[in-house]
Structure 1
Amino acid sequence: MKLTLRGIVFSALFAAILVLFSSIRIPLPMSPVPITLQQLAIMLAGGLLGARYGALSTLLVIVLTAIGFPLLGGHGGLGTVFGPTGGFILMWPFAAIMIGLILPRIQMKGILGYVGAFLVLEIFGSLFVYPLGVGWLMYKVPSYTFAKAMAAGCYPYLAGDAIKAVAAALIIAPIRQVFPPQRLTGSSSHSVIIKNEASAG
């Protein structure tokens, strides 16, 4: 796998954006899952950096948080990554990958282009994470039935996620016209190569 130096730098930048957006949170009294801007950060990372670097930006945050850095709302450690919201956190790289793979197939011009971008961002930046997120919430809070888990970890967030998808589409479309992911992440002339060398013999 080849990683460009510019791509690594932008991945670190979007990791910082994810940390910043994680600090903006509104707790809900009936749920351990706060309202945050985290999914907006994931949408932007996948949409602007592409699958590889979008996923890398989220993995940086997850790994550093697991090590103990207080990056997610001032909290860190394995208890944060694998706590009640762990299912949502673990889905971040996969959401960024899916957005990064599918969004470039859409011409983000005109009404239909924006609608198509919104649907990709809404489906893979929001709805895609809920099966594991809600399932993990049920696992971590055994008293939750499926209905309670949906009420605590899904229904209150759907409208906000749709707004985030609209905002992400409006941000990504004009930026991608000037800076497609390949341009943002740099050329192979400034790259760090990570690969497995086949043994001779």
Structure 2
Amino acid sequence: MKKWTTRGLIFSALFAGVMIALSYLRISLPFSTVPITMQTLAVMLAGSMLGARYGSLAVLIVIGLAAAGFPVMAGSGGLSVLVGPTAGYIFSWPVVAFLIGLFAQRIEQNKYTFVKLLAVNFLFGALLVYPGGVWWLAHSTGMTSLSKALTAGMWPFIPGDLIKAVLSAGVVTAVWRVYPIERILNTESHAWAEGENSTVIR
């Protein structure tokens, strides 16, 4: 197993800060307790740019700070945030960042890089979040209708999540041209060996 690097840990902390900052960009909806938030964009970026371990670590830092009572979720914090109606979405984020990062580490940069990143970000960064998020939303608010839960917790958010996936893929594709993910993972010198022994998404 590869060692944790100082560079990776620093980037995890920086992306935790980005996630906290983006949490303030949110829009409340009159028919739902779930707001439109840019934190999901930060989760996509963390996984795509930092890889599985450091991307999920960045998210876990934010969740840990929230659990400790720090106002890192749009000015709110404490255990009440982590057991509230949006908790299902929040606790899916480390898994999402890990899976995005896992696939991002295996993407070969070519003319299809943007498309591959878009697919990975939307599949894991958006669609994977909904099952747990919608289930907990319905459970915590006493919803008995699946259609109402989907209306309150999924359907209105899909277009925005697609836009976030496009933004994440575009930003990461551009960044990778000058600062590839291998530099974060400290695997540049071993790229030739890993290319022979790991699955690459071409």
State the TM-score, normalized to the length of structure 2: 0.87
What is residue 138 of structure 1 aligned with on the other side?
138
Structure 2: distance between partners of 1:185 and 1:116: 20
In the TM superposition, what is the alpha-carbon distance from 1:184 to its structure 2 partner?
2.7
Flag the 1:35–1:8 CA change in 2: closer, same or farther, 3 A.
Answer: same
1:51-66, aligned counterparts within 5 Å? 51-66=52-67
Q: Give the SS at the match of 2:42.
A: helix
Structure 1: distance between partners of 2:127 and 2:138: 17
1:155-175 Cα deviation digits (max 9, x unpaired): 010000000000101000121
Aligned residues: 186
Structure 2: distance between partners of 1:20 and 1:102: 26
In the TM superposition, what is the alpha-carbon distance from 1:144 to its structure 2 partner?
4.5
1:168-196 Cα deviation digits (max 9, x unpaired): 01000121232222313558xxxxxxxxx
What is residue 147 of structure 2 aligned with on the other side?
147
What is residue 107 of structure 1 aligned with on the other side?
108
Q: Aligned-pair RMSD on alpha carbons?
A: 1.5
Structure 2: distance between partners of 1:115 and 1:181: 17
Point out where structure 2 has 5 or more consecutive residues left out of the alignment: 188-202
Structure 2: distance between partners of 1:86 and 1:47: 23
Structure 1: distance between partners of 2:109 and 2:154: 28
- Greater percentage in strand: 1
